[in-house]
């Protein structure tokens, strides 16, 4: 299950869509997190889009009935500007809490470039790549929203790894679009291996030309594990 939550710090893009029909909009949805048919928790997803700025936040909570087995909380937030119809992140924060540990990631962006990265606890390994100054890479929340808004590819940095998401296949059935997204060019910043157990992400999203629709279902396939987010 830990791999799932890494998705949101992996996760949860390079080109941008037209935001004009979405200005001054707020979207709030809740999802059940399932492994097989077992409800392990909930995800609360908020998106605020204004004419020149945006804010995205995700909160994760474990199922109270399973908290004695695996207790977790997660908070993810990004803020930025909408410039020339593009999401431009300024600040990203991530907090992950279990019974045994608490981790935090903070990233600051300026002029399409990462200028600051803070990890808590601090990383003791030396970085395998130069990440300060990296351009055309965005935080996971901004990246994933752009994929949902119709982009085909995106580059992401989550504080511990960089990777690209590539839409590999689309299907339309009964006004529902299904997207399959592959993880490509995966590189660990701090580890000396490229191990990546995340195989693909599948999104089911209602098609609507006049307004943006939050996904109905998000499936996340790891090696030997399938997790599903079902909109409540």
Share of the chain above pLDDT 70, in %: 88
Task: Give residue 132's pLDDT.
Answer: 97
Sign of CA dihedral 152, 157, 160, 162: positive
Quickly list DSSP for 188-227: ESSSS-----EEEEEEEEE--SSS----SEEEEEETTEEE
Place of tokens 């890479």: 137
DSSP 17-84: ---GGGTTEEEEEEEEEEETTEEEEEEEEEEEE-SSEEEEEEEEEE-GGGTTT--EEEEEEEEEEEET
What is the distance between the alpha carbons of residues 2 and 96, in angstroms, rounded to a whole number? 11
pLDDT at 2: 53
**Stretch 61-83: mean pLDDT, rounded?**
87
Q: Which residues pair with 74 in a beta bridge?
A: 60, 96
Q: How confident is the model at residue 88 (pLDDT cuts 50, 70, 90)?
A: confident
Q: What's the average model confidence in pLDDT over 27-48?
A: 93
pLDDT of residue 52 exceeding 60: yes
Are 57 and 124 spatial neighbours (Cβ–Cβ below 8 Å)? no
């Amino acid at each position: 299950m830990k791999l799932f939550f890494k998705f949101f710090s992996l996760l949860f893009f390079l080109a941008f869509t037209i935001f004009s029909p979405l200005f001054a909009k707020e979207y709030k949805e809740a999802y059940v997190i399932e492994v097989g048919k077992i409800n392990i928790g909930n995800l609360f997803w908020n998106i605020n889009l204004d004419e020149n700025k945006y804010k995205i936040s995700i909160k994760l909570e474990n199922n109270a009935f399973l908290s004695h087995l695996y207790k977790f909380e997660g908070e993810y937030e990004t803020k930025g500007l909408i410039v020339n119809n593009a999401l431009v992140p300024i600040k990203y924060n991530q907090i992950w809490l279990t019974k045994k540990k608490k981790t935090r990631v903070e990233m600051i962006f300026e002029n399409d470039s990462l200028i600051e990265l803070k990890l808590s606890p601090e990383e003791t390994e030396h970085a395998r790549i130069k990440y300060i100054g990296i351009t055309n890479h965005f935080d996971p929340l901004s990246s994933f929203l752009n994929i949902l808004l119709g982009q085909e590819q995106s580059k992401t940095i989550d504080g511990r790894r960089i990777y690209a998401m590539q839409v590999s296949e689309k299907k339309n059935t009964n006004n529902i679009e299904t997207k399959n997204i592959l993880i490509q060019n995966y590189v660990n910043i701090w580890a000396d291996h490229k191990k990546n157990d995340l195989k693909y992400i599948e999104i089911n999203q209602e098609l609507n030309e006049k307004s943006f629709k939050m996904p109905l279902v998000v499936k996340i396939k790891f090696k030997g594990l399938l997790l599903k987010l079902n909109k409540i």
